[in-house]
Amino acid sequence: MARKSSEAVSKLNRRRLLKGAAAGGAVVATEAITGFPTVWAQNIKDITLVVAGGSYAVIKEIGEQASKDLGFKLTMQAITDDVQLNRSLTQPQTIDINNIDSTKMPYLVGKGVLAPIPVAKYKQWADTVPLFTKNAYPDGRQASNQGLSPFKSMFYEGADGKKLATKATDFLTFIPTIYNADTLGIRPDLVGGRDKVTTWKDLLDPKFKGKTALVDYAPVGVIDVAMALESRGDFKYGDKGNMTKDEIDKTIKIMIDLKKGGHFRSFWSTFDQSVNLMASGEVVIQSMWSPAVTAVRSRGIDCYYVPLKEGYRGWFVGVAPMAHLSGLKLDCAYEYMNWYNSGWQGGFIAKQGYYSAVPSTARKFLPPEEWDYWYDGKPAAVDIKDPYGTLMEKKGTSRDGGAIWDRMGNIACWNTVMDEDRYLTRRWNEFVSS
């Protein structure tokens, strides 16, 4: 087993050297992946686990690296959210490990498809950011509880996995892996400068009529509008992430009026639509994801991810084994989960702008200049490239919004599933057809 580790280490070092050389940056500290593989079985190489989830996290390269480091095979299948949800419920045996979004939890809990994870099995619990372990920021403040916060979606009440708890317990719903803070993106060159948009209410500003876009997904789109309305002073919400029927009605009514007035140019349902809308100038302000902003910028078009006054909309995803796994397969699944947060993946995904739940391990796999840029918000000392060598940011730029806790420390509301989800869907359909 020691020999396997050192083989893996030397392979890793060679790979890193090559990548480092290509990126023109410093050579990464040659840290060994100590401790993997830990599962030793005769037939481990016959095990194949199917990992399914969104294409932002389920990436071929991650599966290949894991297969290499762990000794068994992982096949990655990128699927869309709605397919993931429906398949998890109707055909759960076709998925082994679910790369899942926190907002799917209320749908899947208690249906016997996901397996509770005893905290003891997750090796990096102590090093995981307090956002997930304590629902708090490192400076001790409590994190926002609007929407589906970590405490509301990460823990089961008991070992049977039937009900969600509202505080930390010993049974996890999933291992938190990636998270980020979302906000509005703008075209500074078309709106007159970076400082022209500073609060959420600017989304509804009439001077952007016909040039705005929202994400075409009810639970998220309506929160963005709620942030704008609260910022504008129209009314105050109890919990933007869990609106009452009345609040939904008021919000949708304003949205319908805006739509009829031609305020929205489009609604996007895929990432690339959002990038194209921005890059082509069809819209100048819209709800966007962080990698979309980077994608627009990498085309030489100025795009700014605005740190708005009222705060960000936060999200997080994780990895969960399916209930039908047992024996060696289940052990391998835990192995994969522990490997996931042991650093390689964290370093890889940092370049999409996503934070790792265990930054200390990710740090070992990021050149110091990239750590400074992505996590510490410092100006880039070198050109920042993505894992495939494409230039993302030029030397000297800083990450929009600053360091990790400037951004993640200012979450106004988390992505969510509301109690009135049924009602919201109906009213959203009304809005779209108006």
Partner 1 sequence: MHGSDEGRPWTFYAFAAFFGLFVLFLYGPMIVIYILSFQGPNGGMTFPLNGVSLHWFNALISQTRVGDIAGSFVRSIGLAALVAIVTVVLSVLAGLGFRRRFRGSAFAFYLAIASLIMPGLFVGLGIALAFRLLGLQTGWYTTGLGAQLTWTLPFGLLIMFAVLGRFNRSYEEAATDLGATNWQRFREVTLPMLLPGIIGVALFGFTLSYDELARTALTAGAQNTLPLEIWAMTTNVTSPTLYAVGAVTTIVSFIVIIAALTSIGAIQRRRARGKQAEQSHG
Partner 2 sequence: MALLDQTADGAMGAAPPTAEQLADERSGERASWWQTAPLVIVLLLFFGLPMLVVLAVSFFDFSRTEIIPAFIFDNYVDLFRSQVTLRLYLSSLKFAAIVWLVTLVLGFNIAYFLVFHVRSLLWQIGLFLVCTVPFLTSNIIRMISWIPFLGRNGIFNQALEGAGITSQPLEFLLFSDFAVIVAYVHLFTLFMVVPIFNSMARIDKSLLEAARDAGAGRFRTVAEIVLPLSKTGIALGSIFVITLVMGDSFVVRTMSGGQSASVVSALQNEVAALQYPPAAASAVIMVIIVTLMVAGILRLVDVRKELAR
Q: SS3 for 386?
A: coil
Q: How far apart are CA 366 and CA 346, in angstroms?
A: 9
Give the binding range for partner 2 (CB under 8 A) out of 32-40, 85-93, 144-152, 384-392. 85-93
Q: Strand pairing partners for 50?
A: 75
Is the CB of 221 or the CB of 409 nearer to partner 1?
221
* 21 is an interface residue for partner 2 by CB under 8 A: no
Q: Which of 213, 278, 317, 322 binds partner 2 (CB under 8 A)?
A: 213
Element (H, E) at 22: helix 2-23
Is the CB of 86 or the CB of 326 nearer to partner 2?
86
Q: SS3 for 95?
A: coil
388 binds, among partner 2, partner 1, none (CB under 5 to 8 A by kind): partner 1
Q: How far apart are CA 185 and CA 303, in angstroms?
A: 7
Binding mask 171-210 for partner 2 (x = CB under 8 A): ---------------------------------------x
* 85 is an interface residue for partner 2 by CB under 8 A: yes
Q: What one-character DSSP code corresponds to residue 164? A: B
Which residues from 52-81 bind partner 2, rule CB under 8 A?
81
Q: What Cα–Cα distance (Å) separates residue 384 from each residue in 182, 301, 399?
A: 21, 16, 11
* 276 is an interface residue for partner 2 by CB under 8 A: yes
Count, residues near partner 2 per rule CB under 8 A: 39
Q: Which of 10, 30, 38, 91 binds partner 1 (CB under 8 A)?
A: 91
* 411 is an interface residue for partner 1 by CB under 8 A: no
* 259 is an interface residue for partner 2 by CB under 8 A: yes
Q: Which of 131, 165, 92 is nearest to 325 (CA)?
A: 92
* 160 is an interface residue for partner 2 by CB under 8 A: no
Alpha helices per DSSP H over 93-140: 105-108, 130-133
* 247 is an interface residue for partner 1 by CB under 8 A: no
Is the CB of 267 or the CB of 365 nearer to partner 2?
267
Strand ranges, E, within 71-174: 73-78, 97-101, 117-118, 171-172
Burial of 269 by CB count in 10 Å (0-12 exposed, 13-18 middle, 19+ buried)?
exposed
* 162 is an interface residue for partner 2 by CB under 8 A: no
Q: How many helices (H) and strands (E) does the chain have?
A: 17, 15
* 296 is an interface residue for partner 1 by CB under 8 A: yes
Q: SS3 for 323?
A: coil
DSSP string of 167-218, one letter each residue: S--SEESSEEEEEEEEEEEE-HHHHT-GGG--SGGGGG-GGGTTSEEEES-H
* 9 is an interface residue for partner 1 by CB under 8 A: no
Smallest distance from partner 2 to CB 23, Å: 30
Q: How far apart are CA 242 and CA 106, in angstroms?
A: 13
* 280 is an interface residue for partner 1 by CB under 8 A: yes
131 binds, among partner 1, partner 2, none (CB under 5 to 8 A by kind): none
Q: How far apart are CA 127 and CA 394, in angstroms?
A: 32
Q: Which of 6, 30, 38, 93 binds partner 1 (CB under 8 A)?
A: 93
Q: How far apart are CA 76 and CA 226, in angstroms?
A: 36
Which residues contact partner 2 by CB under 8 A?
A: 81-82, 85-86, 89, 106-107, 109, 210, 213, 216, 218, 259, 264-269, 272-273, 276-277, 280-282, 417, 419-422, 425-426, 428-430, 432-434
Which residues contact partner 1 by CB under 8 A?
A: 50, 52, 54-56, 59-61, 75, 77-81, 83, 86-87, 90-91, 93-95, 269-273, 275-276, 279-280, 291-292, 295-296, 298-301, 386-388, 390-391
